[in-house]
Structures are given as C-alpha cells and as structure tokens.
Amino acid sequence: MTNGSGTVRLTTAQANVKFLQVQYSERDGDRRRFIPAMFSIFGHGNVHSLGQALYEYGDDLPYHRPTNEQSMVHTAAAFARTNLRLATFACMSSIGPGATNMITGAAQATVNRLPILMLPSDYYATRHQGSVLQQLEHPMSGDVSVNDAFRPVSRLFDRISRPEQLLTALPNAMRILTDQVETGSVTIALPQDVQAEAYDFPLELFQERT
C-alpha cells in the first residue's frame, strides 16, 4: 500500500524482493539486470515470508528451485563468471543446515571475486518463540547462530534485526557486489520474524539503479 507521504508499507521480505528487481549493471553501453533470478530451497524461516513475497511481488524475479543449497551457490558463481561479474543470482535458504550448505560456495566465490548474494534465514530476533526444527545457535551466546560462520568467507556480512536497516544494508550490498575489486559473497542474514515485519519504506528505495 502506497502512502501519501512518499512511502510504501511492505514487509522486510517484500522490500527485499522489490529492491532486487530494479538493480542493473552497465558496461560499454550494455545494461542488464544485475540479479535476474533467485534460487531457494524453502523451509524453516523463509517459506512464510520470502516465499509469499516472491509470489506477490516477484513478477520480474523468477524463482528456480534447486535440489541442494551448495549446488545453487556454485551455479550462481558459474553464472557470474560467465557474465563477467555483471550479473549474478541471489541464493536464499532456510535456517540451520540449509544455510551452512552454502558456506563452501560462499568461500569459493569470495576467493575468486565472484559476486553472489546470500540470504540465509536466521533465529527469531524477538526470541519469544524459541528455536525451531533444525535451528542451530550457540548454546552460550544468544546472538550467535550458524550464519555467523559466513563472516570470514563474505566480503560483507549483515544481520537485519529491524526492517529499516534495509535502507542502508541493501544499497551497501549492491555497492560491494558490483565493485570489481571488492566483489565476492555478500551475506544478509534475515531473522525469520523480522522478515514478516512491516515498515513504511521510502519509494526511492525501489527506483531503478544502475
């Protein structure tokens, strides 16, 4: 719903989907979608929000279902290499082993400076609900999950604990991904409850960017 104040009411997941569809790269007059599609295996933490967001707002962000999280990251890396780092895929996973399956591919992409956007689901930020099936977190540290294993293998790691953090996190992610020197894996961890939280996002966030 668009408000008269120049904002639109969206969930964190919906804002992610709308933003990714309007990012472009250009070289020598050749302009293309930077993230033309998304991979995901749906499960705990992403089916109820990002899955719905793709259904509602993902007309220009085709969804492809792989059979293994590690293979989808390697496929995204191969696509980025073939396209001379001017395009890549976003890779989305559930929490727990689904997320950790992507770590090897993330490391390989970072070492080879191949842009890949990783969107693993994460623990409940509110912690009211407790853990879910297959969720892995540090038993003695409430703010550490398996997604923190992405930190040393990512060019950029960010955990979204409030919807408005997307206002800086998403442009910063695109800045790293499209920088031919700094590019590599970018990981934006998305707590499963925050994915479904709504916020009045400014409309300019969803304008086309090259």
Is it the case that residue 201 has pLDDT exceeding 60?
A: yes
Residue 208 within a domain: no
Is it the case that residue 75 has pLDDT exceeding 90?
A: yes
Average pLDDT of the chain is: 90
Q: Name the domain count of the chain.
A: 1
Give which of 104, 43, 95 is closest to 72, Cα–Cα: 104
Q: How far is CA 13 from CA 53, 57, 192, in A?
A: 6, 10, 10
Is it the case that residue 134 has pLDDT exceeding 60?
A: no
* CATH code for the domain of 158: 3.40.50.970
Residue 209 within a domain: no
How high is the pLDDT of residue 136? 58
pLDDT per position as a tens digit, 135-177: 556 566 667 788 999 999 999 999 999 999 999 999 999 999 9
**Mean predicted confidence (pLDDT) in 91-120:** 94
The angle subtended at Cα 65 by Cα 132 and Cα 149, nearest 5°, is 50
**Mean predicted confidence (pLDDT) in 187-203:** 95
Q: To the nearest 10°, report the CA torsion of 115, 116, 117, 119.
A: -160
Give the dihedral sign, CA 79/80/83/84.
negative
As a whole number of angstroms, the distance between CA 54 and CA 59 comes to 8
As a whole number of angstroms, the distance between CA 168 and CA 161 comes to 13
Residue 203 within a domain: no
Instruction: Give the residue numbers spanning the domain of 70.
Output: 7-22+33-136+143-197
Tell me if 109 sits within 8 A of 176, measured CB to CB. Answer: no
